[in-house]
């Protein structure tokens, strides 16, 4: 009887481990899809749905396996071990040569789902020798679900933030390999000598392959990463929230988040000076400033040119990004060490939650320097509800400015941000600039009190004569606030644009449907 219990325990432990590895494999492929393709909610939905569908298909196909159940289970485990372990390496390698990496990611997710779907019914059928039907099915599925929970916790707290996409897949490969090894050892008496020799040889080959893969995965992925960028990658790190990459060409540097350009040191002043100086000049002696995003420190650099500013609060979700702004020599050189200023207080929190939960801080100016609203999560930071919180946090004479993407490459998204800000009571002015590295880019500036026409007139009179700037001056202000004839940009189609709300997230759709292929 003890023998029977031990065999059943090994099978349940195996299914617990494969449940753990299976769910993490889903998360890895979903993260890869988000990083390489974009639109995270869509990618996670499709990857998980495809894997679940293929698990069902695998379960259906498993009934065709009529003999050698243990051997077939072992073959499934070693197959999963190799496929999952090398998933990141394969995707990065193919992405370096082909534009069809998206198809590859979907194929991998379907293949992993198919193999998992095949193995669960096999374990149930093997375990029927040791438990009755009712206990057998419930206990096997129970262990699979428990393993999935552990896998989710592992991926969230250890896999992605610590091991990254380089080594997390190999942890899964090792888990599947160990399952195969333990099951083979426990059930070897049920396998013929010839089959046992072949399986032992297979495990040895898989083990050697995994060890070799672990040794070479980082340089391969770095090589694949480098192929994505035309310039030399000098820093790359996958954090819990995003992929941060710094590239270098001669003495210039580019910062990318999830593959999207944030700034180039050649012309970043053409972005950060319009973001900061017009609004500070309008506010007249502001004391307390809130920056949402801006972890690179460039906006803080510009704010520190005003001695009258007493306090700058920065809310940036990713502690790795703000640490990079404080400690990385490249960024320190660009931001003039601004992130180490005694005036700066850094809060590594979600911007929406910070505004919603903080009830004691109020500001003269709010500067929003967040990534473009290319998905639902980021669109939440450009929503009616978000701007309502901003309105509440501003003092009566306060001003707000947000980066708003491109007015020409994503016109509807740009107008949607403006209309959404107006919906909470802000009087707004549109601004734009042709930035060499980024193309045509725009901002929306808002006031709680002054009307739009007066704001525009004041902006066009600003001179910055007493300020040390590299680009912005009075002539620039005429450019920044002018969009040409009404018929070209401010046409009647503006009426059909909806307000972006959390329960009606239209902004990211406008953004993704922009004319980016012209850029």
pLDDT of 69-87, one tens digit each?
Answer: 999 999 999 999 999 999 9
Provide φ and ψ at 251, rounded to 5°: -105, 10
Residue with tokens 């902006």: 459
pLDDT of 160-213, one tens digit each?
Answer: 888 888 899 999 999 999 999 999 988 888 888 898 999 999 999 999 999 999
Q: Counting Cβ atoms within 10 Å, is residue 518 exposed (0-12), middle (13-18) or buried (19+)? A: exposed
Residue 349, Cβ neighbours under 10 Å: how many?
Answer: 15
* Number of residues that make up the chain: 519
Q: Reduce the DSSP state of residue 252 to 3 states and report it.
A: strand
Residue range 203-224: average pLDDT? Answer: 90
DSSP 86-106: THHHHHHHHHHH-S-HHHHHH
166-204 burial by CB neighbour count: b if 16+ within 10 A, else e?
Answer: bbbbbbbbbbbbebbbebbebbeeebeeeeeeebeeebe
pLDDT of 433-488, one tens digit each?
Answer: 999 888 899 999 999 989 999 999 999 999 998 899 999 999 999 999 998 776 55
Distance, in Å, from the CA atom of 260 to the CA atom of 371, rounded to the nearest integer, reads 9
Dihedral sign for Cα atoms in the order 223, 229, 233, 239: negative
Tokens at residue 498, please? 């909806």
- pLDDT reading at 516 higher than 70: no
pLDDT of 112-150, one tens digit each?
Answer: 999 999 999 999 999 888 888 888 889 999 999 999 999
Tokens at residue 36, please? 């390489």
Quote the pLDDT of residue 258: 85
Share of the chain above pLDDT 90, in %: 69
369 is catalytic: yes
- Strand residues in 283-327 grouped as ranges (E): 288-293, 311-315
Question: Residue 431's beta-bridge partner residues?
Answer: 443
Residue with tokens 């499709």: 46
Banded model confidence at residue 342, pLDDT cuts 50, 70, 90: very high
Task: Between 359 and 407, name the one with better pLDDT.
Answer: 407
Q: Reduce the DSSP state of residue 171 to 3 states and report it.
A: helix
Quote the pLDDT of residue 148: 92
Provide φ and ψ at 236, rounded to 5°: -150, 130
Beta-strand pair 344-347/311-315: parallel
Tokens at residue 39, please? 């639109």
> Of all residues in the chain, what percent are helix, strand and coil, respectively (each to 5)?
60, 15, 25
Quote the pLDDT of residue 296: 96
Q: Reduce the DSSP state of residue 307 to 3 states and report it.
A: coil
Residue range 255-282: average pLDDT? Answer: 94
**Beta-sheet strand order (sheet of 252-257):** 232-238, 243-249, 252-257, 260-264
Residues 6+ away with beta carbon under 8 Å from 343 = 304, 309, 310, 311, 312
Quote the pLDDT of residue 305: 96
- Structural domains in the chain, CATH included, are 2-228 (1.20.1250.20), 232-261 (no CATH), 266-518 (3.40.50.150)
Residue range 226-237: average pLDDT? Answer: 87
Considering only CA atoms, which of 331, 338, 337, 332 is closest in space to residue 264? 331
Tokens at residue 41, please? 């909610």
Residue range 40-62: average pLDDT? Answer: 92
Straight-line distance from the first to the last Cα atom of the chain, in angstroms, rounded to the nearest whole number: 71
Banded model confidence at residue 518, pLDDT cuts 50, 70, 90: low
Question: Residue 233's beta-bridge partner residues?
Answer: 247
Distance, in Å, from the CA atom of 205 to the CA atom of 199, rounded to the nearest integer, reads 10
Task: Between 40 and 463, name the one with better pLDDT.
Answer: 463
Quote the pLDDT of residue 488: 55
Diameter of the chain measured on Cα atoms: 91
Q: Where are the alpha helices (DSSP H) in 38-100?
A: 40-61, 69-85, 87-97
Distance, in Å, from the CA atom of 507 to the CA atom of 486, rounded to the nearest integer, reads 23
Torsion angle of C-alpha atoms 472, 475, 477, 479, degrees rounded to 10: -110
| Catalytic entry in 313, 364, 369, 372 | 369
Quote the pLDDT of residue 330: 96
Quote the pLDDT of residue 39: 76
- pLDDT reading at 513 higher than 90: no
| Cβ proximity of 347 and 312 under 8 Å | no
Question: Residue 435's beta-bridge partner residues?
Answer: 439
- For the chain, state the CA radius of gyration: 28
Quote the pLDDT of residue 388: 97
Q: Counting Cβ atoms within 10 Å, is residue 329 exposed (0-12), middle (13-18) or buried (19+)? A: exposed
Banded model confidence at residue 313, pLDDT cuts 50, 70, 90: very high
215-236 burial by CB neighbour count: b if 16+ within 10 A, else e?
Answer: eebeebbeebbbebbeeebeeb
Distance, in Å, from the CA atom of 455 to the CA atom of 462, rounded to the nearest integer, reads 11
Share of the chain above pLDDT 70, in %: 96
Banded model confidence at residue 225, pLDDT cuts 50, 70, 90: confident
Quote the pLDDT of residue 130: 85
- pLDDT reading at 519 higher than 60: no
Mean residue pLDDT of the chain comes to 91
Q: What is the 3-state secondary structure (H, E, C) of 358-377?
A: CCCCCEEEEEEECCCCCCHH
Beta-strand pair 260-264/439-447: unpaired
Residue 496, Cβ neighbours under 10 Å: how many?
Answer: 8
């Amino acid at each position: 009887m003890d023998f029977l219990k031990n065999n059943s325990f090994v099978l349940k432990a195996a299914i617990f481990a494969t449940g753990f590895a299976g769910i993490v494999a889903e998360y890895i492929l979903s993260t890869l899809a988000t990083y390489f393709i974009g639109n995270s909610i869509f990618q996670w939905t499709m990857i998980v749905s495809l894997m679940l569908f293929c698990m069902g298909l695998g379960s259906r196909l498993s009934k065709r396996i009529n003999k050698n159940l243990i051997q077939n289970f072992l073959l499934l485990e070693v197959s999963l071990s190799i496929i999952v372990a090398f998933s990141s390496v394969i995707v990065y390698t193919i992405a370096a040569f082909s534009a069809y990496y998206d198809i590859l990611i979907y194929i991998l997710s379907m293949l992993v789902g198919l193999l998992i779907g095949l193995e669960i019914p096999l374990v149930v059928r093997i375990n029927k020798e040791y438990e009755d039907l009712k206990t057998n099915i419930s206990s096997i599925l129970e262990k699979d679900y428990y393993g999935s929970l552990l896998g989710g916790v592992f991926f969230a707290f250890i896999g992605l933030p610590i091991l990254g996409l380089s080594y997390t897949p190999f942890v899964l490969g090792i888990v599947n390999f160990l399952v195969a090894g333990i099951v083979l050892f426990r059930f070897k008496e049920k396998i013929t000598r010839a089959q046992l020799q072949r399986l032992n040889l297979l495990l040895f080959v898989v083990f050697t392959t995994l060890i070799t893969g672990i040794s070479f995965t980082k340089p391969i992925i770095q090589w694949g990463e480098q192929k994505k960028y035309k310039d030399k990658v000098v820093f790359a790190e996958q954090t819990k929230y995003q992929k941060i990459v710094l590239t270098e060409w001669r003495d210039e540097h580019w910062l990318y988040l999830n593959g999207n350009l944030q700034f180039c040191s050649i012309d970043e002043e053409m972005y950060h000076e319009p973001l900061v100086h017009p609004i500070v000049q309008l506010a007249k002696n502001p004391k307390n400033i809130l920056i949402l995003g801006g972890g690179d420190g460039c906006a803080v650099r510009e704010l520190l040119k005003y001695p009258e500013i007493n306090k700058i609060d920065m809310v940036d979700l990713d502690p790795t990004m703000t640490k990079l702004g404080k400690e990385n020599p490249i960024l320190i050189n660009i931001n003039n060490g601004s992130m180490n200023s005694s005036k700066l207080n850094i809060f590594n929190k979600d911007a929406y939650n910070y505004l919603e939960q903080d009830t004691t801080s109020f500001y003269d100016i709010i500067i929003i320097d967040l990534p473009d609203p290319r998905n639902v999560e980021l669109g939440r930071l450009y929503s009616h509800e978000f701007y309502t919180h901003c309105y509440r946090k501003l003092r009566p004479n306060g001003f707000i400015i947000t980066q708003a993407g491109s007015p020409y490459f994503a016109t509807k998204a740009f107008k949607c941000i403006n209309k959404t800000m107006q919906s909470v009571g802000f009087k707004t002015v549109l601004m734009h600039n042709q930035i060499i590295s980024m193309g045509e880019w725009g901002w929306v500036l808002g006031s709680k009190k002054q009307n739009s026409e007066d704001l525009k007139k004041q902006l066009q009179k600003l001179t910055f004569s007493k300020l040390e700037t590299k680009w912005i001056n009075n002539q620039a202000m005429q450019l920044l606030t002018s969009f040409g004839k009404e018929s070209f940009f401010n046409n009647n189609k503006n009426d059909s644009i909806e307000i972006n709300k959390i329960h009606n997230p239209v902004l990211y759709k406008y953004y993704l449907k922009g004319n980016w292929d012209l850029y």
